[in-house]
Chain A
Amino acid sequence: MLGVGTGIDRRLVYNVDWVLLGATLFLSLLGVAMVYSATYAGQKPELYLKQLALVAVGLAGMTLAAALDYRRLADRAVLLYVLSVVALLYVLRFAPVIAGTRRWIVSFGFQLQPSELVKLAAAVFVAKLFSEFRQESLGLRDVALPGAAVGLLALLIAREPDLGAAACLVPLFLAVAFLAGLRMRAVLGLAAVLLLSAGLAWPFLKDYQKTRIYTFLDPSLDPRGAGYQKIQSQIAVGSGGLLGRGFREGSQAQLGYLPARHTDFIFSVLAEELGFVGVFVALSLYLLVLWRMLETARLARDRLGAFLVAGISATFAFQVVYNVGMVAGLVPVKGLPLPLMSYGGSSIVASLMGIGLVLSVRMRRFAN
């Protein structure tokens, strides 16, 4: 790909994290099954096959990423950053407007969402920057430059607009800065600054974004409108009960009461049809994935590897927790896919490639 050598030896294969790989595969296939349940009776009943194909593509990407030596990749961090900015500018300038937003590059019948890959590039870039620091502890001034660099990416994504994807970069940056030794006072100060800027951003939010926040606070304000998704998702989750209503038997999902049920609200379908038991299994698997990722960071042979894995993990964790929290009605509705399960090519492939990078770090923990 980027002219990076891909030497594979037996020791690398021996150190593959099979637990992480297995849990990832299981969640991906569970996602395919839920996409099938959500769409088989609709206008595009073959969508799950497409999802299956995307999982296959993603696994190929994962293998490639695992085979890459992350250190060679990090050497191209600046190039990756520049490519990201260019891609995002291209999207803003030339991408077609789909559902009021410019998020996709469309070519040869494929839709590519650059922001998903930018998250990975950002993880590499941030990890590389922070791994260069040699101080014991960092102050706010030290992180200002990396922060501005990530902030530019987030701003460009937010302009699409895709607030959810932009928000993913925040935990990425925070997690890596925290690991790199940012002083606790600075961590708290940064959190305060972020909260403040969220407040300052309020007047610049689009009306639909404000409405979402209002109706999150009181869904009954508009039961057919913006509050609808939250109410219907909660009904779906709650009516699933302990054991669920059965695969393909959820009335909320099957009768179309759930919005975006094969994409952002795929977890509602799972909760309704497989019940709390299914939720418990799925969340446990996500926790297992996250746990193994952070373990990988802990076991990494160098700061670069630890930071790279931590950045990817933070983004992944943020998406899982936010999406599932949204399904459960805990946070405002925002267009954020559930990694590994939501329908959507860029998200699936990027998630699997990210896990590939994690695998890569773990495989090389003893290598020179």
Chain B
Amino acid sequence: MRIYEDLRLVQSRLAALQAVVVLLVAGLMVQFWNLQVVRARHFREQAEHNRSRLVTLAAPRGTLVDRNGQLLVGNRPSFNVVLVPEHAENLDRVVSRLAAALGMGEAAIRERLARRQPYRPVVVKNDATLADIAVLDARRLELPEVSVEVVPLRSYPLAAAAAHALGRVGEISERQLLLAEFKGLLPGALVGQAGIESRYNRELMGKDGFRRVIVNSRGLEVAEAAREPPSDGPNLTLSIDVSLQAAMEAAFAGRSGSAVALDPETGEILAMTSTPAYDPNQFTTGIEPARWASLASDPNTPLMNRVIQGTYAPGSTFKVIAATAALEEGVITPGTSFYCPGQLSVYNTVFRCNTPGGHGVVDLRRAISASCNVYFYQVGIRLEIGRLSKWAKLMGLGAPTGVDLPFEASGLMPSAEWKLRVLKTPWYAGETVSVAIGQGQVSATPIQMARVAAFIANGGRLLRPHFARQAKVPELPPIVRPETIAAVREGMCGVVAAGTGWRARLAGVLVCGKTGSAQVVARARLEKTPAAHELQPHGWFVAFAPADRPRIALAVLVEHGRSGGESAAPVARRILAHYFGLERADPPAEAARADISDTED
């Protein structure tokens, strides 16, 4: 017989357990509903983020070529070691392995990682060597989150030549990242940091492409989801003539200074040099801080483009401006003469001429060619500062020339209003006397003075110097009368033919110019310590040639070269000799010098 157990308690408690199970499973379903339906979009995005990686395809920057199509700045392939930190399972281990493999410090790698953006590859080492690549390749399985990408890298085949004009590229700075000009760029991007590279950065950069790739959990690429090829930056043809540029650099023979040569009809810059220079190739992969510090603190300022950033007293080269102003204002005529006794006393101050014995009776032509100060003191007294300042500004002083380079200095052309506003003192008539011979407050950059030479050469038109070749030269009417130009030109031709600039004389080509010296310290102090090089005046020479139909205008400044005739004119001659294909012509003999002092211009 069967004995039935009493199962009532068991059965009622089982019902409770059933209820618990139903509740638990229902709770799970609610959670899945929450994850899969309510928050589905959020998680779908995270899954996408997980699996896809954006790889930038760097667009090569546009190359720069000279006016004859010769390469000035190009690109070469280089290898970057990159790491996506998010894909590293153990970042510390990856960093220490990478440091060992690449022979870098861990701190250097961490510094780069500190600037990362989420899920963006971080460049751990730029321009890695083939040996680095070989080491990484051998360890690929240990370091799956590390990869090597080939990027175009800027190369400057001319090295230091034309370095200041062409400029350099470098990693975008944190400050630049905030600027509208660099909108859309990421840390690590290479952008122009100086010169034409900086001025035409946007144009040259082209447009980066990208690849969207699907990666697995170890960061290895398994497929490509999308690709947009990069579009190369357009190539830029510059007005530079490489061979003239080389001749210009050679003409300086290691001396500090600067020179710029223009086409006087168009304003195109044929060559520009500033010495000492630097090799922009050092910057393309990020310069080492120590090397940067030594460049930046070098007392010879190799990073400065003296042509546009060096401001110097124009000295006697300013007489070209004073003469033009005086003729245009009718203060003098080409035939006006003054007597030069060797000095002039104005308002109880004695102003000396450059030749102690004086020049005797001088007309305008001889005043320019012999650089007679007394003549221009007289001109200054008659013009007064207002008209002198007006004409200097019309001829481009006191304002940037607008050359297509960044960070151009404007120099200074003083006036009575300027002095009252800035120095809070009235203008003294004696100051005009100094300014008339390019001393005192007036200062100018070499490119401004080259523009003045071009102004006289092209018949009185103020052109904007530039590198980028333009489709059309703007039609500018001359702002001075032809007679004025003719008279100033005649004086300038005399400077070379029989004056202070005789060292620029070139057999076969009539060169016109003007010497000048920019005082660094007061003349009295210099006489006490004549030997100190850094106290010597800077030598100027501005010129154009040939006289009848000028094709080139230039300005040369040799720092501490004493007089322009001595130091700058020979440099100009070498540049012109190359330009006219006359390198083999003999330099002018000592006998060719005229009756003029050549140390005082």
Contacts and interface: CB of A to CB of B under 8 A. Distances in A.
A241 B33 CA distance: 9
A247 interface: no
A284 to B, nearest CB: 8
B182 interface: no
Contacts of B28: 283, 321, 324-325, 328, 330
B14 A297 contact: yes
Contact of B35 (A180, A237, A307, A317): A237
Contacts of A297: 10, 14
Nearest to B26: A287
Given A178-B13, A325-B28, A238 B44 contact: yes
A97 B75 CA distance: 57
Contacts, number: 139
A294 B20 CA distance: 11
Nearest to B33: A276
Interface string A59-96: 00000000000000000000000000000000000000
Given A328-B32, A368-B2, A294 B17 contact: yes
B37 to A, nearest CB: 6
A280 B88 CA distance: 36
B14 A310 contact: yes
A287 B25 contact: yes
B31 A255 contact: no
A186 to B, nearest CB: 13
A240 to B, nearest CB: 6
Helix, strand, loop or mixed for chain A's interface?
A: helix
Interface residues of A, number: 53
Contacts of A49: none
Contact of A235 (B4, B11, B18, B43): B43
Interface stretch (A11-19, A298-306, A339-347): A298-306
Given A235-B50, A251-B47, A252-B50, A294 B25 contact: no
B50 A317 contact: no
Contact of B36 (A252, A271, A287, A300): A271
A291 interface: yes
A237 B50 CA distance: 14
Interface stretch (B215-223, B318-326, B497-505, B512-520): B215-223
A241 B40 CA distance: 5
- For A239, A255, A321, A329, the residue with the greatest tally of chain B CB atoms inside 10 Å of its CB is A239
A194 to B, nearest CB: 16
Interface string B1-26: 01011010111011101100110110
Nearest to A236: B47
A241 B14 contact: no
A234 B35 contact: yes
Given A257-B51, A283-B28, A239 B44 contact: yes
A90 to B, nearest CB: 34
A190 interface: no
Interface in A249-282: 251-252, 255-257, 271, 275-276, 279-280
A237 B35 CA distance: 7
A181 B32 contact: no
B115 interface: no
Contacts of B39: 238
B215 A238 contact: no
A179 interface: yes
Contacts of B216: 255-257
B89 interface: yes
Contacts of B18: 291, 294-295
Contact of A237 (B14, B32, B90, B215): B32
Contacts of B11: 298
Contacts of B33: 276
A238 B42 contact: yes
Contacts of A302: 5, 7
11 contacts: A180-B10, A238-B40, A242-B40, A252-B47, A255-B50, A256-B218, A294-B18, A294-B21, A306-B7, A328-B28, A328-B35
Given A241-B36, A283-B29, 7 more contacts: A238-B35, A239-B46, A275-B36, A283-B25, A290-B25, A300-B7, A307-B10
A-B pairs with the 7 shortest C-beta distances? A238-B43, A239-B47, A256-B217, A276-B36, A241-B40, A255-B216, A238-B35
